[in-house]
Amino acid sequence: MMNTCPDIATLRSTVPTLAGELIAVTAYDANWSTSNRQPTGGGIFVAKAQSTPADDGGMFIRPNTSWVWLRVLEVAGTVSPYMYGAKGDGIADDTDAIQKAHNYVSSLHEHTTKQTTIGGIVYTSIEQVLKNGILTFGNGRFKCSNTLKFDTKTVDYDFSGALLDFRTFVSGSAAEHATAIYWMNTDGYPQGSLTVKNLRMIGPGAGKFVDGMTFRNDIIPATPTEPAKEVKTTYPRNSMTFIGGGLESFAYGITGNNNFYFLRMYSFMFNHCHTCYYFPNNAANSGEEMDFHSCVFAQSNCGVNLQGGYSYFFNCSFDYIYGDSGSQDPTVSLGKYIHIEGGQHIFRDCHIEGFGPRNYIVNVPDTKKCKINFIGGLFTFKAGDPSTENEATLCNPFYFGDQARAVFQAVNLGKLQQAGDVGVSGWVDGTGSVSFRDMQLPMNWPYLLTKVRTNPSVQDNWLDSTTYTSGGSNDKWTEEAWVLSPGGLNSVRKSRYGWGTLNSTNFSMIRQAGFVSLGRNAAAGDGVYQAVLGTIALKGYGSVIHNFRAGTYAGDGQSCQVKIVWAKLLESGPAQDIEPTILMQATGHSYVYNFSGSESEFKTAVIPGQMQGSDAQSPMIDRAPDWATHAFLLVDTTKMKGGFDLRITDVYMRQV
């Protein structure tokens, strides 16, 4: 019959009578029965008549120098912090028990070694990890007041059912953040990536300068219980695979430094952090293949802050990021869903949703070199809220600085602007290179802005006032501009900017100083007076957004109509005096602009100021038919009086 023992303290005072004796320990401590807890940390121990190893408080319990009780593990290599006295009640400090359990299970790994002779001295280094231990937590809330140091190559971790509670953790500073968990490689590399299952942890608050997890391998800073330690290894790569779990209320949710790469995170949630994921700009040999799959970055000041590296975000959600102007941390970029200052990054099929942009949704400052791809996925926002104190900070959704290279391909854009919102005038600020291809735009077009960028670039099909003052071969053109016949037929009269005469009685585009005059000096009669202001060749199936800026004396009772027309078109280009041939055409978006005010007052307008549409509109409105080769921007001035003109200074078209 096996002997029994109520707790570890009693076991420590029990001397075995013979080697191989077994004893069953009920619980780690005796007060479990008075604290409404289940007995934990007990188990079967076997007696060994030996002077080593030392008493470690969990696996080895020593009653004297000659005998040791060895814990018999139910599953080989699997250890729990309860075996080292963890309470898991959210009250007692379990840091020491967790660390001791980790250190023991880490010691269970086996490895090969390599010897190298340098200068007559033989150095032995760990070459390859052949097997590893397993640290499992079970159910419980584990209070942690000091840093935990976990190895990335010698342990698999299972936190299922557990919460690591760092809410009483001592704050760091803006200059030097504290860290709840250090992940580090101290023992070479394993066969495959080790895993962390269902790690859940809560911190002291986003403003306490405590980071959730830091991957590092250079110097582990001192803690209240241990001095600083330099980590040396022949293969320093820090990488792990996280499956499930999440963290909340930290400064940086996760960050790293040198030799930090091959990170994999699946279905992990970041919540209420200053910056959910921060990749630093001073890391060496770092950043390769940082992969996030179906992760959530939510309710934080910044979703990701990428100073470098090579990151992949697959099917991730960036949900309701908010700004906090009261932050004292100068290293944290606030109010950005995605803030990037370097590296190369891919966002595929991600969902980016929120109330903003009170700040930029995607922000790349000037002088910062990076490449970014957004492939598929959904952006959906209400733009600024004029009723909030942040009204002055409203901006366009995206900022791409002068060294940025960004591509949006097959992205679904939802509500980027509410009708009547203040401070939002386009999609993109900045002068970086931004390509849009095969975009899906909302059917309810009042939420759609008419400009991709407020600062024009050579990517846009854009004419401005310099077109009309310089003349000659350096003129900037849209691909084609022409006048349709007054009868509304498909035959055209070529009329590049600069053609037409001041005395023409026909409908004409006439070059003037700083603008082009579009109009006629006779009543409309039965004719239809339409001109094509610009044409672009279609690439893919993306929508065409557009507007033009014009001045006019037209007032009450007069109007013009703006249309995007899809066409199967044969053209010779703007430099050739050859009329294009329209083989097929269909009207897409159509917008009526009503002039108002006195006809003696000169007025300017951007037409259309915002596209119109409805949820029930035909796909033809915003989608090019398969047969279409071009889209052209057409303005109909039939309902303008004779003698009135549109003085056009800017024409903007872009397929997205």
pLDDT recorded at residue 390: 46
Lowest mean pLDDT among 268-282, 289-303, 315-329, 562-576: 315-329
Q: Which of 45, 72, 99 is the last residue of a domain?
A: 72
pLDDT at residue 46, rounded to an integer: 96
Mean pLDDT value across the chain? 83
**Percent with pLDDT over 70 in the chain:** 78
Handedness of CA 481, 486, 488, 489 (dihedral sign): negative
Contact indicator for 427, 453 with CB cutoff of 8 Å? yes
Residues 393 and 481 in one domain: no
Which range marks the domain in which residue 376 is found? 355-459
Contact 72, 44 (CB under 8 A): yes
Residues 6+ apart with CB under 8 A from 531: 481, 482, 483, 484, 495, 507, 509, 518, 634, 635, 637
If one counts every other C-beta atom within 10 angstroms of the C-beta of residue 178, the result is 23
Q: How far apart are CA 278 and CA 340, in angstroms?
A: 10
pLDDT at 325: 42
Collect all residues with Cβ–Cβ distance below 8 Å to 17 and sequence separation of at least 6.
none
Cβ contact 530:636 at 8 Å:
yes
Sheet of 630-636, strands arranged across: 492-494, 482-484, 530-537, 630-636, 559-570, 581-594
Is residue 511 located within the same domain as residue 575? yes
How confident is the model at residue 535, as a pLDDT? 85
User: For the chain, how many helices (H) and strands (E)?
Assistant: 3, 52
**DSSP, residue by residue, 469-511:** HH-GGG----S--EEE-TT--S-EEE--BTBS-TT--S-EEEE
How many other C-beta atoms are found inside a 10 Å radius of the C-beta of residue 112?
Answer: 10
- Residue 240 DSSP label: -
Comparing CA positions, the residue from 421, 325, 434, 432 lying closest to residue 382 is 421
Q: What is the average pLDDT across 139-158?
A: 94
Task: Name the nearest CA neighbour of 610 among 422, 420, 378.
Answer: 420
Q: In this predicted model, which residue has the larger pLDDT, 227 or 262?
A: 262
Last residue of a domain, one of 428, 459, 490: 459
Cβ atoms of residues 287 and 261 within 8 Å: yes
Are 191 and 330 found together in one domain?
yes
CA distances from 359 to 5, 28, 365, 397, 570 (A): 63, 53, 13, 8, 44
pLDDT-derived band at 500 (thresholds 50, 70, 90) equals very low
Same structural domain, 506 and 598: yes
Residues 469-502 as b/e (b if ≥16 CB within 10 A, e otherwise) read: eeeeeebbbbbbbbbbbbeeeeebbbbbbebbee
Residues 87, 176, single domain; the answer is: yes
Q: What is the DSSP string of 317-346?
A: EEE-----TT---TTPPPSEEEEESSEEEE
Considering the domain architecture, whether residues 86 and 212 belong to the same structural domain is answered as yes
CA separation for the pair 373, 281 (Å, rounded): 20
Structure tokens at 614: 């409805």
348 lies in the same domain as 361: no
Residue 179: which CATH number?
2.160.20
Q: For residue 330, what pLDDT band results from cuts at 50, 70 and 90? A: very low
- Render the burial of 510-548: b for 16+ CB within 10 Å, e for the rest: bbeeebbbbbbeeebeeebbbbbbbbbebeebbbbbbbb
Q: Do residue 97 and residue 204 come from a single domain? A: yes
Looking at residue 479, which CATH number applies to its domain? 2.60.120
- Residues 429 and 514 both lie in one domain: no
Q: Is the pLDDT of residue 408 over 80?
A: yes
Q: For residues 481 and 231, what is the distance between their CA atoms, to the nearest angstrom?
A: 68
Q: What is the pLDDT of residues 158-200, one digit of tens each?
A: 999 999 999 999 999 989 999 999 998 877 677 778 999 999 9
Distance separating alpha carbons of residues 74 and 80, to the nearest angstrom: 11
First vs last C-alpha separation in the chain: 80
End residue of a domain, out of 324, 352, 380: 352
Which helix (H) or strand (E) element contains residue 107?
A: helix 95-107
Asked whether residue 44 falls in the same domain as residue 81, the answer is: no
Instruction: Return the minimum-mean-pLDDT range out of 256-270, 474-488, 504-518, 576-590.
Output: 474-488
Same structural domain, 85 and 95: yes
Query: Residues 475, 435: one domain?
Result: no
Instruction: Give per-residue pLDDT as tens, 343-387.
Output: 999 999 999 988 665 678 899 999 999 999 999 999 988 654 444
How many structural domains is the chain composed of?
A: 4
When pLDDT is averaged across residues 406-426 and rounded to a whole number, the result is 76
161-165, 272-276, 393-397: segment of lowest average pLDDT: 393-397
